[in-house]
Every structure is written in C-alpha cells, then in structure tokens.
C-alpha cells in the first residue's frame, strides 16, 4: 500500500540531515507518490540539496517529487507533515557561527563554554513555526528534530494546538554499553525514559535477564583500564567516568547525551572535563566541540561535491537502507496504519511520567499507528533520581519556557542566577545586557526589554 502526502522540511539546507530524510523516503515504498518541499532561506544550499534529492530518487527509482522554496508560509500550504530541523541563523552568521559567538560572549562574563542563551532564539523560531502550522495546516503533524527539544516542544504544545512530536536519536547510545560489555546487540533490550537529553536506563536486559549486574562487574574489573586509554573519539561519553559517577549517584545509567548534561562539577574547566570524559575532554570541551564542527564541515563539503558532480552516485554516499532516524517510519505508521513502537517526546498526558504535569513534554516509548500517538506508561523512577536530577531539570526548563511565554526579562535573569558559575547579580546582568544589545539579537532584544 502507498499513500501520497505532502512533507515539508523546514531548514532543508542542513544537508546531511535532509539528505538522510530523503534517503529514508526513497527506501520506504509505502510513501511513494509523496511530494517533498525543501524550504530554507539559504538559496545556495537549497539548490544543491534539491539536486541531490532528485538524483537520489532517480537512482533508487523512488516515486517522489521535490520542490524548493524560501517562503515558509507558501511551503506549509496543504502540508501533512512538517519536519523542523532549523539551527537559527542571525543575519550574515550561519547557525553554528551564531552559537559560537554567543558562547564566547558568555565566557567573557565568566561562563566557561557558554550559558546556552542560544536556546532562547531557537525556541522563539520554533514557536513561530508552530503558530504557522496551527494557522496554515492545522491537521499536519509537526516533527521537531532541532534542539532544545524538551523546552521547545513543551512551549509549542502549551502555546498552540499543533500536533507536535519531538524526536532525538540519543536513546540509541545504549548500544555503546552493549558494545563495551561485549554483548550481542540482537539480544539486548533497554528502556530509557525521562526528558530529552535527560534520559535514564530503567531496564537493561540481555537474553531476557537483567544486565545491570554486567555493568557493575565491568565497573569493578575493567573501568579503570578503559578510562586510562587514549581517547580518539570526540563523543565518547556513554561509558565515561562521568556517566558511571552519575549512575552511582542516581541509581540508573544516564543514556546518550545525558552524561554530557548532568552535573556542573564535570564541566567546571578543561581539567575537570578531561578527568571525567578522557583526554579530549568530551564532546563539549573546546577540543571535542571543535573536532565535531570540523567533521560537520567535512561532511557538508563531501555532500556538496556529490550533489554537484553528476558522475558520482548519490547512493554511494547515502546507502539505500533505512537509517536509525525515526522520522520516516513514524510518518509511514501514521499514514498507512503500520503500528510501531518508537521513542518520542510528547506531552505527559495521563501522567506517563508520574510526578510531573500533563503539559510537560517527556521522552518515552509510544505506540504509533493510523489512529495517532499513544504514550506508554513509565514505572516510577527512583526517588533520589526524581529529587536530585529530574525536578531540578524541570525547574530550569520552566524558567526557559515561561520566559518565552511571558517575554519577561526577569526569567532570563532567574535562569542565570540558577547557574553555579554566577557569583553575583551584577555578573548575570552584565551578560544579559551585552547579549541583548548585540545587533544579531534584535528579535530577542524586542521581546525582553528590561
């Protein structure tokens, strides 16, 4: 069975991600006949991603049509699915350039590696998209794949009636645990609920048996040797000293991006980062993050070369097989009533995660089919995890969400005052003053007048 739908990719100039979505569409015949609209304000990138998409569909004989536009509202007309992948730009600055500028500004005021002020610009844009979806294509599903998923999805579902699903691939990193332990992945199962980038492995099984004892044994016998090795990979965090320390503190293993996010003590300076994440200091150190940006630029250059060189097969760069990304399988489940179990970020309706409000977005398993999305209930989390990590994280999210809803400067200030690096009121205020007066930050400056 195949069903024709209109799929809009907002921020299609994010070439690697967009090309991956196109590849997944090409190998899912149930969605053949669909129209894909590529939308971005960067016309150069838009041109080469369209060329790449058309060639990929031709190579794989996929019945899909593609068009491009820089007009978001025009793109949304008649959409069935809207995929938001945007890293917000600021005038002449690319998304990552603008993030780095804000990071350097925060560091100038004593916030090592930044204060995540760029999340506010992201949230403002994502809310704008959700309001457009609500107005122009109210029956469409809005699939949010750009950070901050936790706060942005909570904001969008509270402020609009858009049908929002937040997605991330961090939950797959439980496979790294299996790999380090030497387990055959086909016999491994895991459950990892929580908040996005704040998820915890509540169940871990190998051949049906509890596999947590295998982690405990590894900690006792192999961990020190593992941590002493010369780390080559910038994102090697899942079995880091920090992740194991968090496991001991809270009683469950943090999964995916969680070991990067939990606890200020692991990030006080580069020395601390190297202690907890290895000789590169982990993904978020000045060393690891630059390696990530370099790799991102290398991949972008490679994709652009493939797109512009018609002598090269696109399918050699993007292998014709379904990726780990859930976007296209979820669309297929909704459109063709193919029931599947997915890891998603959705409102906590019915208290999927006990102890938190129904209008807070949580990350959980969900059954998806033609009737929609139904979250699967989560067993109660350990009390010390709830009080020590989940409630504080929820508190910070509410500060960000309420800042955007009420557009009050005081929420920005309260957010910084919760940061352990803030030594006094003047430090926080001086950062906000310079940040809001930056010419690249004109939209937020209007929103948050002191």
Q: Catalytic residue numbers?
A: 169, 257
- Residues 353 and 381: their CA atoms lie apart, in Å, by 8
Count Cβ neighbours within 10 Å for each residue of 422-440 and write b for 16 or more, e otherwise.
Answer: beeeebbbebbeebbeeeb
Reduced 3-state DSSP string for the chain: CCCCCEEEEECCCCHHHHHHHHHHHHCCHHHCCCEEEEECCCHHHHHHHHHHHHHHHHHCCCCCEEEEECCHHHHHCCCCEEEECCCCCECCECHHHHHHHHHHHHHHCCCCCCCCCHHHHHHHHHHHHHHHHHHHCCCCEEEECCCCHHHHHHHHHHHCCCEEEECCCHHHHHHHHHHHHCCCHHHEEEECCEECCEEEECEEEECCEECHHHHHHHHHHCHHHHHHCCCCCCCCCCCCHHHHHHHHHHCCEEECCHHHHCCHHHHCCHHHHHHHHCCCCCCCCHHHHHHHHHHHHHHHHHHHHHHHCCCCCHHHHCCCCCCCCCHHHHHHHHHHCCCEEEEEEEECCCCCCCCCCCCCEEEEEEEEECCEEEECCCCCCCHHHHHHHHHHHHHHHHHHHHHHHHCCHHHHHHHHHCCCCCCCHHHHHHHHHHHHHCHHHHHHHHHCCC
The answer to whether 168 touches 149, Cβ cutoff 8 Å, is yes
Kindly list the distances between the CA atom of residue 200 and the CA atoms of 17, 52, 258, 362, in Å, as whole numbers in the listed order.
26, 38, 8, 12
The answer to whether 125 touches 152, Cβ cutoff 8 Å, is no
- List phi, psi (to 5°) of 228: -80, -10
- Residues 313 and 322: their CA atoms lie apart, in Å, by 18
Q: What is the DSSP pairing of strand 6-10 with strand 35-39?
A: parallel
Cα–Cα–Cα angle for 143, 119, 142, rounded to 5 degrees = 10
């Amino acid at each position: 069975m195949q069903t024709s739908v209109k799929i809009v990719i907002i921020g299609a100039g994010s070439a690697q991600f967009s090309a991956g979505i196109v590849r997944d569409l090409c190998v899912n015949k149930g969605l053949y006949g669909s129209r894909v609209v590529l939308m971005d304000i960067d016309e150069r990138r838009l041109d080469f991603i369209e060329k790449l998409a058309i060639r990929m569909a031709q190579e794989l004989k996929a019945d899909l049509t593609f068009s491009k536009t820089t007009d978001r509202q025009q793109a949304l007309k008649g959409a069935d699915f809207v995929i938001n992948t945007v890293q917000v730009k600021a005038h002449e600055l690319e998304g990552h350039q603008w993030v780095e500028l804000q990071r350097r500004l925060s560091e100038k005021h004593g916030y090592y590696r930044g204060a995540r002020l760029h999340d506010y610009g992201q949230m403002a844009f994502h809310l704008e998209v959700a309001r457009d979806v609500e107005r122009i294509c109210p029956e469409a599903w809005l699939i949010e794949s750009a950070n901050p998923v936790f706060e942005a999805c909570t904001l969008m579902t509270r402020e609009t009636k858009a049908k929002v699903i937040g997605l991330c691939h961090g939950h797959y990193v439980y496979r790294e645990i299996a790999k380090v332990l030497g387990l055959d992945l086909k016999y491994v199962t895991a459950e990892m609920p929580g908040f996005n980038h704040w998820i915890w492995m509540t169940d871990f099984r190998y051949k049906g048996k509890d596999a947590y004892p295998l982690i405990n044994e590894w900690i006792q016998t192999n961990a020190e040797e593992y941590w002493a090795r010369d780390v080559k990979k910038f994102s090697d965090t899942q079995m880091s000293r920090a992740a194991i320390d968090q496991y001991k503190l809270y009683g469950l293993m943090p999964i995916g991006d969680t070991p990067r996010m939990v606890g200020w003590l692991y990030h006080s300076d580069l020395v601390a980062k190297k202690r907890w994440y290895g000789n590169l200091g982990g993904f978020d150190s000045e060393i690891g993050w630059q390696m990530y940006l370099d790799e991102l630029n290398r991949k972008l250059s490679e994709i652009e070369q493939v797109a512009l060189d018609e002598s090269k097969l696109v399918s050699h760069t993007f292998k014709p097989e379904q990726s780990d990304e859930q976007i296209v399988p979820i669309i297929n489940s909704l459109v063709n009533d193919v029931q599947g179990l997915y890891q998603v970020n959705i409102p906590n309706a019915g208290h999927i995660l006990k102890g938190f409000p129904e209008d807070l977005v949580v990350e959980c398993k969900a059954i998806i089919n033609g009737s929609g999305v139904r979250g699967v209930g989560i067993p109660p989390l350990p009390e010390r995890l709830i009080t020590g990590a989940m409630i504080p994280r929820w508190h910070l999210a509410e500060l960000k969400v309420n800042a955007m809803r009420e557009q009050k400067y005081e929420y920005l200030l309260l957010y910084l005052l919760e940061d352990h690096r803030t030594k006094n009121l003047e430090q926080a205020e001086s950062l906000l003053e310079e940040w809001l007066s930056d010419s690249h930050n004109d939209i937020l400056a209007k929103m948050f007048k002191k």
